[in-house]
Structure 1
Amino acid sequence: MDLVDGTDTVDAAEGVDPGNGFLRCFGRQMKLLREAAGLTQAELGARVGYGEAQIASVEQGRRIPKPELVDAVDRVVGGGGVLAAMKGEVEKARYPGFFRQYASLEAQATKLNAYSSHVVKGLLQTEEYARAVFEMWRPILDPETVEQRLAARLDRQKLFTKRPTPLMSFVIEEVVLRRPLGGRAVMQGQLEQLLLYGHERNVEIQVMPTRCDEHAGMAGPFTLLQIGERRRMAYMEVQGESALRSDPKKVGVLESTYGTLRAQALTPRASLAFIEQLLGEQ
C-alpha cells in the first residue's frame, strides 16, 4: 500500500465504517448535555424545531444531524461550543467510509482530472441524476441514507466556486451520456448541466467516442488530484472499495494515461457540440 500523510491508503468496504462510531459518540455527548440541562428529548426537539423521534435518532447515532441542528442544540443545552466544534466531523460522516478521506482531499484540490466510464462524475451530477444513481445502488440504500448522500454529493460542488478557482478536466465515455439513468427528462437535465460546466473557463469536458479504436482507459475510471503546487494523488473506486495513492511513480503512470485519454477523446469544443447534438435527440 502507498502512504497518504503517513497512513495507509484507504481500502475499506462500506460495512466497516468508522463514521458510525463517531456518530454514536456525538449522540452520547449530546444526550449528556441535554440531561444536564434538565430537558427531555421532546422538550429539546420543541425548542430547536425538530421532532422527538429525530432527536432520539441523533442521540442513538442513527441519524446525521444538519449543521443548523448542531448549532441550535449546542445553544439550547448550553454546550459552550462543544457540539458545534464537532460539526466538521459530523459532516464527514455523511459520506460512506471508503470515500471519506478522498472527499476531504478533493475539497482542497487546486487541480482535478477525472476519467468516467460508468456514470457522470459526482461533481458534475444534477440533483435528479445523483438521486437516480443512489436509488439504483445495491444493496438498496434506505431513504434517509439516500438523502444524506445526496446532500453530501451536492455540497461537494462548492469546489466550482472555490477561490482561487481550481482547474478541472473530465473525460467521459460516450455511452455514459447515452445511458438515460433516471429517465429521459433526468438525462436531459444532466446534459444541460454538462454544457453549463463545460463553458466555464476553469473546466474542460471531453467525450470519448465509442467508435474510437484506440483507448488508454481499459483499466477503469480514476481521478487525479493536485493540492497546492506539488502534492499529487490518484483515487480509484470500485464496488464500495477505494484506493488513494500518493506514490509519485504510480501517480505518474496514471497522469500519463490521462494525457493519452485526452489526446484520444474529442476536443473540448467538439465535445460540447456533441453534447448539444445529444440534447437534440432527447
Structure 2
Amino acid sequence: MPQKNLDPSSSPRALLGAELRVARERAGMSQAELGERLFVSGAFIGQLEAGTRRMHLEFARQIDDILDTGGFFVRNCGAAAKSKYPDHFAAAAEAEALATSIREYAPQLIPGLLQTEAYARAVFRAGHPTAPEEVIDELVANRLARAALLDDPTAPLFWCVLDEAVLRRGGESPEVMAEALRHIARLIRAHRIIVQVLPFSAGMHAAMGGAIKLMSFDDAPPLSYVEGMGTGLLFDDPATVTHHTLTYDLLTANALSPRKSLALIESVAEDCEHDQHA
C-alpha cells in the first residue's frame, strides 16, 4: 500500500490519482468495480486517477477502507484539494489545465484564458468595488497564470464562441477593450485559437441560459462546465455532456465564420480606439 505522504508542491492531484490507480490494481479491481463500491461510475474513477477530478474527503475515507491503504488517501486528500481558485470553479480550472481541447461559449465576458491584465483588473474591480488593491492583484495574477496554457503553440486546442455582447461591453475604458480585442485578434492571426462571434442578428439561440465550457482529455472521459454568478457545476454524466456538446455545436452553426468574426473583432477594436482618442 502507499506509505509516504504526497509532496504538495508537485501536482498533488495527479500524484494522488496515480497512487489510486496503483492501489486499485493491486487490489485486483477494475474502475467499474471500485466505482460500484463508491456508488459512482467507472468513468468517475478514471477521472480521479487521471487527476481531472478532485477527490473529496468522503471518497478518500471509503477508498482507504475498500483498498486497505492505511489512511493514505485521507491524509493526502487535503493537499490535493488546495486551490487558488473559488470553490465553484476550482475543479473546472484544474481540469482545464489537463485538457487537450477546450471549447467555450462566453455570453458576457472575454474568457479568462484570453483576458489581458488590464481587462481582468477591470472585471475584478467591477465585481469587488471595495476590495483592497492587493486582493485584486492576487485575483489578476491567478487569472493570468491560467492564460499560460496558451503559451504552448499546439495544445490545448482552444475554440471559443463569443457573444457579440462581449465585444460591445467596453464600459468607460475603451482603451482597455481595444487592447483586449487586439490581443484576441493577434492570437487568431497566429493560428493559436479559433474564435467565432455569435451576432445579435442570430436572435434566440441554444445557450440562452449562460456560459458553457467543454473539455476533452487523452486518458479520461470528457467534462462540461456551466457557470452562473458565483456558481458553477462540472458534469461527467455522458448524457449531460452530450447535450452540452450539441448546444455548443448549434452555437457554432449560428455564429459568424472565423474569418468574418476576426473582421468584426478588429472593427470593434478600431471603434474603441477611435472613442479613446475622441
TM-score band, normalised by shorter chain: 0.5 to 0.7
Partner of 1:243: 233
Question: Is the contact made by 1:109 and 1:227 (CA closer than 8 Å) also made in structure 2?
Answer: yes
Does residue 161 (structure 1) correspond to residue 151 (structure 2)? The answer is yes
1:216 aligned to which of 185, 206, 209: 206
Q: Identify the structure with bigger relative contact order (alpha carbons < 8 Å, sequence gap 6+).
A: 1
Judging by fraction of residues, say which structure has more helix: 2
Q: Which structure 1 residue ranges, 4+ long, deviate > 6 Å from structure 2? A: none
1:119 aligned to which of 106, 109, 128: 109
With over 3 angstroms needed to count, the CA separation of the structure-2 counterparts of 1:146 and 1:5, relative to structure 1, is farther
Question: Is the contact made by 1:166 and 1:202 (CA closer than 8 Å) also made in structure 2?
Answer: no
Query: For structure 1, which runs of at least 5 residues remain unmatched after alignment?
Result: 11-17, 19-85
Partner of 1:94: 84
Distance of 1:115 and 1:182 partners within structure 2:
25
Query: For structure 2, which runs of at least 5 residues remain unmatched after alignment?
Result: 1-39, 58-75, 273-278
Does residue 133 (structure 1) correspond to residue 123 (structure 2)? The answer is yes
Amino acid at match of 1:254: H
Does residue 191 (structure 1) correspond to residue 181 (structure 2)? The answer is yes
Secondary structure, in 3 states, of the residue corresponding to 2:104? Answer: strand
Partner of 1:201: 191
Distance of 2:233 and 2:136 partners within structure 1:
23
Distance of 1:164 and 1:231 partners within structure 2:
21
With over 3 angstroms needed to count, the CA separation of the structure-2 counterparts of 1:267 and 1:212, relative to structure 1, is same
Partner of 2:94: 104
Alpha-carbon deviations, 1:149-173, whole Å to 9, x = none? 1111000111112375211100011
Amino acid at match of 1:128: A
Amino acid at match of 1:134: F
Q: How many residue pairs get matched?
A: 206
Partner of 2:259: 269
Distance of 2:133 and 2:214 partners within structure 1:
31
Partner of 1:76: none
Q: What CA RMSD, in Å, does the superposition of the two structures yield over aligned residues?
A: 3.0
Amino acid at match of 2:189: H
Question: Is the contact made by 1:129 and 1:182 (CA closer than 8 Å) also made in structure 2?
Answer: no
Give the drift of 1:94: 2.5
Question: Is the contact made by 1:132 and 1:182 (CA closer than 8 Å) also made in structure 2?
Answer: no
Amino acid at match of 2:215: L
**What is the identity percentage for the equivalent residue pairs of Structure 1 and Structure 2?**
33
With over 3 angstroms needed to count, the CA separation of the structure-2 counterparts of 1:202 and 1:179, relative to structure 1, is same
Does residue 172 (structure 1) correspond to residue 162 (structure 2)? The answer is yes
Amino acid at match of 1:208: L
Question: Is the contact made by 1:214 and 1:264 (CA closer than 8 Å) also made in structure 2?
Answer: no
